[in-house]
Amino acid sequence: MNESYFENLLRIDTSKFEYSGNGSFETSYEPTPYNSIIKLFKKYTPLENPHFVDFGSGKGRFSFIVNYFFDVGCTGVEVRTEYHKKCLENLASYGEKYTEKAKKIFFVNSSAEKYAISSFENVFYFYNPFSAKVFYKVVGNILDSVKDYERNVDIILYFPTDEFTYFLDTKTPFYHLLEVYPEGKYSNPKDKFVVYRYGKTTEVLTIEMQTTCKSCVEICSCK
């Protein structure tokens, strides 16, 4: 399925790339390809009761497609006012067709590092939007929020830089959960999603319970 199929289905206009004059990636816009998003969700199951946050949401594509597929909440945080306005136009158009679903989508015109994370937000998406320095600050904000409201949290990176993954691997309690190569690992190794998780999965809890029970049995049998 091509880009225009989804643009028409969702009644949104997010396809046009925008490149800033100075070539800075922090002010350029490129949407995540629809096909890549679909491949991500074939392998990755979001946490229970997900509320996504797309940091650097551009024209809002990620929020719309996730809301359409899963009927879940999503907040897009975008620093550039012209893209934020485009998100609102897209939301009005999407809402004409998908009125109930659209009530779960929010757009905020703010820089990511100043965005106050809410206790119900638990899946954070980054398509290579900004410098590592900003990323470190945003991850710090996520961890502060988790300290205040303990919960499992996922971070999804698309086209991740080594700085981002190194930071998560070595300086945070997040652990590497999975990788998805939408075009296959060998066609473009940089074209990938990497998912990190904070918190305990059902699998980890099950193993822990089994271990506890085992030692309990051993203690009991000693007596």
Ligand X SMILES: C[S@@+](CC[C@H](N)C(=O)[O-])C[C@H]1O[C@@H](n2cnc3c(N)ncnc32)[C@H](O)[C@@H]1O
Residue nearest to ligand X (CB): 56
Residues of this chain, 53-92, that bind ligand X according to CB under 6 A: 54, 56-58, 61-62, 77-80, 83
The answer to whether 111 contacts ligand X (rule: CB under 6 A) is yes
Q: What H or E segment, with its residue span, contains residue 74? A: strand 73-78
Residues of this chain, 148-187, that bind ligand X according to CB under 6 A: none
Which one of residues 26, 179, 183, 191 is an interface residue with ligand X (CB under 6 A)? 26
Residue 8, both tokens: 């028409």
Q: CA 108, CA 97: separation in Å to the nearest integer?
A: 22
Q: CA 57, CA 90: separation in Å to the nearest integer?
A: 12
Residue 91, both tokens: 């939301």
Residue that is written with structure tokens 């392998």 in the block: 43
Which of the ranges 28-36, 163-171, 195-203, 205-213 carries the binding residues for ligand X, by CB under 6 A?
28-36
For residue 72, give the amino acid letter. Answer: V
Which one of residues 7, 10, 12, 29 is an interface residue with ligand X (CB under 6 A)? 29
- Contact string (CB under 6 A) for ligand X, positions 184-203, x = contact: --------------------
Residue that is written with structure tokens 């945003």 in the block: 138
Query: Could you give the residue ranges of the DSSP H alpha helices within the chain?
Result: 3-10, 34-43, 61-70, 81-97, 99-102, 132-148, 162-171, 202-222
Provide, rounded to whole angstroms, the least separation between the CB of residue 207 and ligand X. 35
The answer to whether 33 contacts ligand X (rule: CB under 6 A) is no
222 neighbors 80 (Cβ within 8 angstroms): no
Positions touching ligand X (CB under 6 A) are: 26-27, 29-32, 54, 56-58, 61-62, 77-80, 83, 111-112, 127-130, 134
